[in-house]
Amino acid sequence: MSVLIKGGTVVTAEWMDAADVLIDGETIGAVGAGLDAPEAEVVDATGRFVLPGGIDVHTHLAMPLGDIASSDDFYTGHVAAAFGGTTTHLDFANQSKGESLLAALDEWHARARDKACIDYGFHLTLTDVNKAVLDEIARLPQHGVSTIKMLMAYKGRIMVGDEDLFLAMRRARDAGILTMVHCENGDVIDILVREAVASGHVAPKYHALTRPPQLEGEATGRAIAMAEVLDAPLYVVHVTCEDALTRVREARARGSRVTAETCVQYLFFTADNLDTKGFEGAKWVCSPPFRQGKDHEVLWSALRDNSLSVVSTDHCPFDFETQTVLGRDDLSRIPNGCPGIEDRLQVLHEAGVNGGRFNLQRFVDLTATTPARVFGLEGRKGAIAPGCDADIALWNMEAERTISVKTSHSAVDYNLYEGMKVRGFPERVYLRGKLLVDGDRFLGEPGSGRYLHRRVVRSRNSHHERGR
Ligand code: URP
Ligand code: ZN
Ligand code: ZN
């Protein structure tokens, strides 16, 4: 079955021009002006922009947390992603204490397999490092996993100490695996949180006050130092502030193999949102926390100069009325995480492209093409090019919409962007050549999303990256 998308404006990270796209089965057969394919179903894309499906490399679907789990599973999260123009995501398979990495991976496969309706892959989060686990790292690429993650925060739960971080990063380097790190100083945060709770400072605003930006900056510098000593590639997840960004910039200026992302919500919200009346502010509890308005401009400029190369979501929703409320009397019990998988592209497009901060090509680069390159999917995902999977979103850049929980598809009872007006959104979304979203109709089937066996990427010195 072939489909000819005719008359649109194709946008890639490198170019943007009027062109047709021929879909041949699951992949893109040709891209060019005036394509002709008599057998193909013709889709009129006049006035539409033809973008690669988005790739969100940082999500937590159905993530267990004590007695609860993040509220979107691999069906509802995928439906939400698809309506937002995202056709691929990478989720974190979290190792439990005492568990092997491959057992954790099996668990996450079981969570996803029968529900998935977009394509997905897994990073492996190490929470309990020992000799057997270190030995397992080299086996991950055989299972399609080319990235591990460790957290320098959440002491006593999933945090790893410096020794484990260093040892695992070294093994990852040897196996060609990229190490991702959540950089916050968990030891100091743990003291500050315990002291806050003991003093009765349990309101959501103390979440930000107990996790100051210096502690993100310090931990970012520490992770970078280890990566440089090892000459290992490092990916810093969810950078929020100037303190951290300065470390990333300096490392990249030295040519270190350091790549960093921010998550879209850090471009919009501040610590003031945590101080919303009553307990409402708990909707904005995520780690690292929201910062100050001045940090937004720092992040935007880093997205322009490629100090930040990826925008993801850290989508980890908790239902406010049934889950977030568990932390009403104790800030340390508020489940950390925000929704955003459906909104990422629209709000970034609105503030980034319509707001004049960068162009559509850079938008595609940050949200699809670079994520594919960094995470072992280049040539398959993240581009409109012959041979790539036909994951395509047709955007109407003139249509306006007001974001609301009432029209969102995530299994969560609020939307952080409630009431925000956006101009431009994906009207039709294809996954591997099949129409997945058509206006407000969802056409995907549970179980039709495919696991992505990702390649290891021998990353280059940051001086050799494509300059922007
Ligand atoms: O608050 C957050 N970000 N929750 C999800 C886990 C993590 O730290 O990425
Ligand atoms: Zn994190
Ligand atoms: Zn996360």
With the most atoms of ligand 1 within 8 angstroms of its CB, the residue from 70, 180, 336, 416 to mutate is 336
Decide if pLDDT at 228 tops 70. yes
Q: What angle, rounded to 10 degrees, do the helices at 293-305 and 242-253 form?
A: 20
Residue 466's pLDDT is 55
184 ligand 1 Cβ < 6 A: no
| Residue-wise pLDDT tens digits, 157-210 | 999 999 999 999 999 999 999 999 999 999 999 999 999 999 999 999 999 999
H-assigned helices in 242-379: 242-253, 293-305, 344-348, 360-364, 370-374
287 ligand 1 Cβ < 6 A: yes
H-assigned helices in 41-130: 76-83, 101-112
Residue 460's pLDDT is 65
Domains of the chain: 53-378 (3.20.20.140)
Q: How far is the CA of 461 from the centre of ligand 1 (A)?
A: 28
Decide if pLDDT at 304 tops 50. yes
The atom of ligand 1 lying closest to the CA of 286 is 1
- By the 8 A CB rule, do 103 and 434 touch? no
In single-letter form, the type of residue at position 385 comes to A
The atom of ligand 1 lying closest to the CA of 60 is 5
How is 97-118 classified by DSSP, letter by letter?
TT--HHHHHHHHHHHHTTT--S
pLDDT, average across residues 430-459: 96
Nearest protein CA to atom 5 of ligand 1, as residue: 337
Q: How far is the CA of 121 from the centre of ligand 3 (A)?
A: 15
60 ligand 1 Cβ < 6 A: yes
Instruction: Determine the Cα–Cα distance for residues 1 and 39; give it in Å rounded to an integer.
Output: 8
pLDDT band at 347 (very low <50, low <70, confident <90, very high): very high
| Residue-wise pLDDT tens digits, 254-302 | 999 999 999 999 999 999 999 999 899 999 999 999 999 999 999 999 9
Instruction: Determine the Cα–Cα distance for residues 362 and 398; give it in Å rounded to an integer.
Output: 19
**pLDDT mean across residues, the chain:** 97
Percent share of the chain, pLDDT over 70: 99
150 ligand 1 Cβ < 6 A: no
The atom of ligand 1 lying closest to the CA of 151 is 8
Structure tokens at 338: 């925000």
- By the 8 A CB rule, do 382 and 372 touch? yes
The atom of ligand 1 lying closest to the CA of 287 is 1
Nearest protein CA to atom 9 of ligand 1, as residue: 314
Instruction: Determine the Cα–Cα distance for residues 99 and 36; give it in Å rounded to an integer.
Output: 55
Residue 459's pLDDT is 72
pLDDT band at 112 (very low <50, low <70, confident <90, very high): very high
The atom of ligand 1 lying closest to the CA of 285 is 1
Q: How far is the CA of 213 from the centre of ligand 2 (A)?
A: 14
Residue 463's pLDDT is 74
- By the 8 A CB rule, do 284 and 290 touch? yes
* Torsion sign over Cα 381, 387, 390, 392: positive
Instruction: Determine the Cα–Cα distance for residues 334 and 286; give it in Å rounded to an integer.
Output: 9
How is 194-244 classified by DSSP, letter by letter?
HHHHHTT--STHHHHHTS-HHHHHHHHHHHHHHHHHHT--EEE----SHHH
Instruction: Determine the Cα–Cα distance for residues 183 and 291; give it in Å rounded to an integer.
Output: 15
The atom of ligand 1 lying closest to the CA of 237 is 9
19 ligand 1 Cβ < 6 A: no
Nearest protein CA to atom 2 of ligand 1, as residue: 337
Nearest protein CA to atom 7 of ligand 1, as residue: 287
- By the 8 A CB rule, do 101 and 168 touch? no
Q: How far is the CA of 58 from the centre of ligand 3 (A)?
A: 6
Percent share of the chain, pLDDT over 90: 96
Query: HSE on the CB side for 403, CA within 13 Å?
Result: 24
Instruction: Determine the Cα–Cα distance for residues 183 and 189; give it in Å rounded to an integer.
Output: 12
List, in sequence order, every beta strand (DSSP E) within 298-449.
Answer: 310-312, 392-402, 421-431, 434-438, 441-442
Give the bridge partners for 24, in sequence order. 2, 27
Decide if pLDDT at 435 tops 90. yes
Q: How far is the CA of 301 from the centre of ligand 3 (A)?
A: 23
Residue 467's pLDDT is 47
286 ligand 1 Cβ < 6 A: yes
Q: How far is the CA of 332 from the centre of ligand 1 (A)?
A: 14
Q: Which residue carries 């919303």 as its tokens?
A: 276
Expressed in angstroms, the distance from the first to the final Cα of the chain is 38
pLDDT band at 330 (very low <50, low <70, confident <90, very high): confident
pLDDT band at 50 (very low <50, low <70, confident <90, very high): very high
Residue 310's pLDDT is 98
